[in-house]
């Protein structure tokens, strides 16, 4: 039989132990884990650092991520993609510090900055757009590297043999920044009616395509982007949700070789929290411009929901964030099921021309068709199957992967405004017309006979 007194005694003994244990842990957390000085930063719940040791920890992580890859050679030209926001300013600052203090043998490359104006997609800043952009570029210039400027709509001019990026050296006032209304309208038109998730995904790929095209034209060897471990964990989950399963590995690794110029992610070992501490302790200023996600609800898009999930995860289980994005490198699609042609937008190998009738993609196509048609008769199912394989779907899937084609599959009108596919669309129209009137055409063979 148990007595109340015994219970009370037991509990007090236990809570006494607990108190001394917590006190010990508390004292430990107030000392830097490296040098016993007073700690300023607490990482991963049990890693306290003083300011000096925290900077050393960051700089070591940055250098080792680049060094381990063995991709950056001496005197390589590197383009840093900077939006002026948190991650890109941290990337810029770390690059500057690394190049200033590391010996040429350890790490050395020639950096330049690229700023891409995305205000075409966020009407909030349109009124004083030029002024805001001018301020950001001025801030970026203060880091001492040359700054290149372009805007997202310039993606329409990539194949036009026209200028689509400029050196900011000669831009002295807000009015100097070039703008092209036709390209802006074309881009807006191509995005009209898209869901928020599709728009965000579409813009992400246009931005990457434009960045790598600029890097290639200007003779760079690599592009650095500010993706952190949190962004990569988000990429992985978003890719699964947006039908880009086959691209997970390229989208989360250090080196992304899909584009003309390799995209590298030197911040991939950092948590967003570490970046925030780094900027704060270095007194770095940054500008976060309003974008499509500004003032939206948590459930407004797949990307926003994933971001929320990862942010909470970072707070409660920081190690899990690393587990998620490291899994990405292991999720490789077998090459034999991918054909060699690449998607015009995201440059991944096309994943949607599969002969396997039992694949998930075929199942998706079938259910899409079934949901479009009113209750099908069983005998018609074969007809539906064959119908799902031709028409617009197949036309688009010749040029775009499954993920990139989703927003365009059922709307031919938008497809013709697609900045990358405009010329392809004109060619397709011409072929269609030629096919229609081919009986009335005199071709070379006829002439010969
Ligand atoms: Zn210390
Ligand atoms: Zn694609």
| Ligand lying nearest the CA atom of residue 35 | 1
CB 334 within 8 A of CB 348: no
| Ligand 1 centre distance from Cα of residue 8 (Å) | 43
- Residue 110 backbone phi and psi in degrees, to 5: -105, 110
| Ligand 2 centre distance from Cα of residue 350 (Å) | 7
| Ligand 1 centre distance from Cα of residue 281 (Å) | 14
| Ligand 2 centre distance from Cα of residue 349 (Å) | 8
| Ligand lying nearest the CA atom of residue 259 | 2
* Helical segments of 30-169, H only: 51-69, 86-101, 129-141
pLDDT on residue 369: 77
Look at the chain and count its residues: 449
Hey, is 368 helix, strand or coil? helix
Q: How confident is the model over 221-226, as a mean pLDDT? A: 95
Q: How confident is the model over 130-149, as a mean pLDDT? A: 90
* Neighbour count for residue 315 (Cβ, 10 Å): 10
| Ligand lying nearest the CA atom of residue 208 | 2
| Ligand 2 centre distance from Cα of residue 154 (Å) | 19
DSSP 149: E
User: Is the torsion defined by CA of 128, 133, 138, 143 positive or negative?
Assistant: positive
Confidence of residue 266 (pLDDT cuts 50, 70, 90): very high
| Ligand 1 centre distance from Cα of residue 28 (Å) | 13
Q: With a cut of 50, say whether residue 186 has pLDDT above it.
A: yes
pLDDT, tens digit, 9 for 90 and up, residues 272-321: 989 999 999 999 888 888 888 888 888 889 999 999 999 888 888 888 88
Placement of tokens 């940055």 in the chain: 62
Paired with 81 in beta bridges are: 114
pLDDT on residue 106: 76
Q: With a cut of 80, say whether residue 6 has pLDDT above it.
A: no
> What residues contact residue 92 under an 8 Å CB cut-off, 6+ apart?
80, 82, 113, 140, 143, 145
User: Is the torsion defined by CA of 374, 380, 382, 383 positive or negative?
Assistant: negative
User: What's the predicted TM-score (pTM) here?
Assistant: 0.82
| Ligand 1 centre distance from Cα of residue 46 (Å) | 14
Q: Which two tokens stand for residue 280?
A: 């704060």
Confidence of residue 91 (pLDDT cuts 50, 70, 90): very high
- 233 to each of 40, 228, 275, 292, 306, how far by Cα in Å? 27, 9, 16, 20, 9
Q: How confident is the model over 178-203, as a mean pLDDT? A: 86
| Ligand 2 centre distance from Cα of residue 385 (Å) | 24
* Distance from C-alpha of 276 to C-alpha of 231, rounded to nearest angstrom: 14
């Amino acid at each position: 039989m148990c007595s109340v007194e015994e219970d009370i005694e037991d509990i007090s003994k236990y809570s006494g132990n607990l108190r001394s244990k917590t006190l010990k842990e508390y004292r430990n957390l107030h000392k830097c884990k490296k040098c016993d000085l007073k700690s300023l930063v607490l990482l991963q719940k049990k890693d306290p650092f003083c300011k000096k040791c925290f900077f050393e920890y960051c700089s070591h992580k940055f250098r080792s991520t680049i060094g381990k890859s063995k991709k950056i050679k001496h005197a390589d030209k590197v383009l840093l993609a900077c939006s002026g926001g948190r991650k890109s300013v941290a990337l810029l600052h770390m690059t500057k510090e690394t190049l200033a203090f590391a010996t040429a043998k350890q790490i050395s490359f020639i950096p330049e900055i690229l700023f891409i104006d995305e205000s075409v997609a966020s009407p909030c800043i349109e009124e004083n757009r030029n002024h805001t952009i001018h301020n950001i570029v001025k801030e970026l210039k203060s880091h001492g590297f040359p700054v290149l400027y372009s805007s997202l709509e310039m993606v329409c001019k990539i194949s036009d043999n026209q200028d689509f990026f400029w050196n900011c050296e000669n831009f002295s006032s807000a009015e100097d920044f070039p703008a092209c209304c036709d390209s802006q309208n074309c881009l807006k038109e191509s995005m009209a009616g898209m869901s928020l998730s599709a728009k965000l995904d579409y813009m992400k790929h246009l931005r990457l395509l434009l960045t790598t095209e600029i890097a290639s034209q200007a003779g760079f060897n690599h592009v650095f982007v500010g993706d952190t471990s949190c962004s990569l964990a988000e990429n992985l989950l978003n890719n699964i949700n947006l039908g880009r399963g086959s691209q997970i590995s390229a989208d989360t690794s250090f080196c992304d070789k899909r584009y003309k110029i390799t995209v590298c992610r030197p911040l991939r070992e950092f948590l967003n929290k570490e970046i925030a501490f780094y900027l704060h302790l270095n007194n770095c200023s940054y500008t976060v411009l309003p974008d499509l996600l500004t003032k939206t609800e948590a459930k407004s898009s797949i990307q926003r929901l994933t971001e929320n999930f990862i942010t909470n995860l970072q707070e409660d289980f920081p190690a899990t964030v690393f587990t998620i994005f490291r899994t990405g490198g292991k999720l490789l699609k077998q090459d034999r099921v991918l054909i060699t042609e690449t998607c015009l937008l995201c440059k991944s190998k096309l994943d949607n021309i599969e002969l396997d009738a039992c694949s998930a993609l075929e199942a998706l196509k079938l259910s899409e068709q079934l949901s479009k048609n009113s209750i099908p008769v069983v005998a018609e199912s074969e007809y539906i199957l064959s119908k799902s394989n031709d028409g617009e779907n197949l036309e688009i899937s010749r040029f775009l992967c499954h993920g990139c084609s989703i927003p365009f599959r059922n709307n031919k009108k938008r497809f013709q405004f697609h900045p990358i596919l405009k010329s392809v669309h004109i060619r397709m129209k011409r072929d269609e017309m030629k096919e229609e009137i081919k009986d009335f055409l005199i071709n070379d063979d006829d002439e010969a006979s």
